[in-house]
Structure 1
């Protein structure tokens, strides 16, 4: 059987975002034990074990928030009426009325793929950008496929520029940096006949104005602009359709937030849909 560690490695290699969940403390009675682990994917599916159905539902919901925010989170799942546990940055408390009576703490670590950067051009500037991007932990793409790239740097200095820009834009890349003077860059873009929206995605002259002279300094200015676009402007990779966040609902019996899926207990009463954390809450509601 594939272990959770092996599964995490597989998802990392395939550049799929996920959350690695590890039970760090458990207080009986509970089915989870310290060291139990799971991976939660962006669609809400879970592989592994971090507790029973009720605890798992709370972990799923918190994991999706961690995946969205990119911040690690310590989640404490408590039974109803348990002693308070202080919340704060990086910590969250969930009171789980249908929990078994024990308490668990789960560390949720979002694992997001490194941004992919494609460098076009076998030039001193292209080589410097490749070296610096690797140092900054970017995934420097070496194939001709632009799909999934966060940014593309075109440093051919007159060679293959238009084909590279057109291919990157067609692949949905939102940030294309063209290494050229302001005047030559404008000519290149005019010849491509870009739309206003496409032209806004091409940055030329590439890089921030830092007075760069050497290839290494130019690379620094370019990567500074790319990092700013990611960290400040929210630049995302060209990944096609955005991931669809699973629908959530509130269990009308225990008040828990549950993810709606094919296996989520469900009832339709008087034309209204209700979803439940477990079969017990479903039975309790329909019997009332």
Structure 2
């Protein structure tokens, strides 16, 4: 639901009941991953998508049904060779969709949607599979491990109950612990626990949606290419910072779409700012006095991507200088340089597209080769494996 959390939050503020269908598991070549959602309000308005069009009509009807009878259901969609006109995924994949009715005044959902819309760190754990009386029930789990019940209502829009998982405190505590572990990793996906509340896989499947702040992209070098890359980074959902030591270039006028503009020596700023395993660092200065101390720091940080612009000659000189300051082969192997995929790019916009494409490929495990005639998988896990099995998604 993260992709439509802002719109759903507005529906809650307007007092609209709605039903939301969320992809909870994916198998094969499915068009969208876990967490993709479609919602229908009491007026029949629909937002979002679960499949890019393949099964939207059927899912819409399931949402209308959930609004009418107040029941949560889990529905599976796949491709049917026996019936060419059956509702299914033409790409050959399989998805399971959890359809849940939500009251506008349900405090837990309202709190989660509000927090998610603000980009705060919070998780929503829903029972996607298990005893009928638990299906659809949910917990709101905070970053410190505390949790709130009363989020969902398995008995319909008009009912109520005490606690997210009813009178099963041990199940509730362990569900919250599993959800917090997912939240700490910034992951969205399923986790199994036993019905008795133990952490062993058993009769209850939780679907955990982790709302975390957007990942950071830090662009070093306030050059013309940087302005286009800022726009591409924002489009991909990054919180984008531009850093340059030259105040005449690092200005809001030149980078109106950047979230932050920092005037400082790049390596000094990188040492004092916060980064994590999702952070992307793009070095566009191609000037040794900036690049070398910056990359010496960057390549020793546990970040997602480090790329540097420059010609192949510049790269060779940079590589030599970095070895002189003590970087190892393993550390240098993390550097994407020259940055970007070979698209034949010329303009700043084309170059930004080239860089953004390499970042996505590195993040998702793609090869960067054309899909036409290649035989390579269309969808990958983050570690580069083809998606042929049900797997959790990753929050960005």
TM over 0.5: yes
1:281 maps to none
Quick one: which of 114, 128, 140 aligns to 2:240?
140
CA contact (8 A) 1:40 1:63 kept: no
Quick one: which of 117, 120, 124 aligns to 1:20?
124
User: How many Å apart are 1:226 and its aligned residue?
Assistant: 1.0
1:160-199 alignment, distance < 5 Å: 160-173=290-303, 175-192=305-322, 193=324, 194-199=327-332
Counterpart-to-counterpart distance in 2, 1:106 and 1:34: 9
1:1-288 alignment, distance < 5 Å: 16=121, 18-21=122-125, 37-39=139-141, 41=143, 45-49=145-149, 50-51=164-165, 52-60=168-176, 63=179, 67=183, 70-73=187-190, 94-96=194-196, 108-141=208-241, 142=260, 143=262, 144-145=269-270, 146-149=273-276, 150-158=279-287, 160-173=290-303, 175-192=305-322, 193=324, 194-232=327-365, 234=382
2:152 maps to none
User: How many Å apart are 1:14 and its aligned residue?
Assistant: 8.2
Show CA shifts across 1:121-160 (max 9, x none): 1111111111101011012133534531522101113272
Counterpart-to-counterpart distance in 1, 2:293 and 2:197: 60
| Secondary structure at 1:187 match in 2 | helix
CA contact (8 A) 2:126 2:206 kept: yes
Counterpart-to-counterpart distance in 1, 2:207 and 2:281: 35
User: How many Å apart are 1:48 and its aligned residue?
Assistant: 1.2
Show CA shifts across 1:52-102 (max 9, x none): 3133045236536755693444x8xxxxxxxxxxxxxxxx6853389xxxx
| Secondary structure at 2:296 match in 1 | helix
| Secondary structure at 1:114 match in 2 | coil
1:83 maps to none
CA contact (8 A) 1:70 1:112 kept: no
User: How many Å apart are 1:206 and its aligned residue?
Assistant: 0.4
CA contact (8 A) 1:21 1:40 kept: no
Show CA shifts across 1:227-248 (max 9, x none): 111111848xxxxxxxxxxxxx
CA RMSD of aligned residues (A): 4.1
Counterpart-to-counterpart distance in 1, 2:283 and 2:148: 43
Counterpart-to-counterpart distance in 1, 2:297 and 2:137: 46
Unmatched segments (≥5 aa) in structure 2: 1-106, 150-163, 242-259, 263-268, 366-380, 384-396
Q: TM-score, normalised by structure 1?
A: 0.56
2:394 maps to none
CA contact (8 A) 2:306 2:335 kept: yes
User: How many Å apart are 1:114 and its aligned residue?
Assistant: 2.8
Q: TM-score, normalised by structure 2?
A: 0.43
Q: Say which structure, 1 or 2, has more relative contact order (CA 8 Å, 6+ apart).
A: 1
Counterpart-to-counterpart distance in 1, 2:285 and 2:320: 18
CA contact (8 A) 2:119 2:214 kept: no
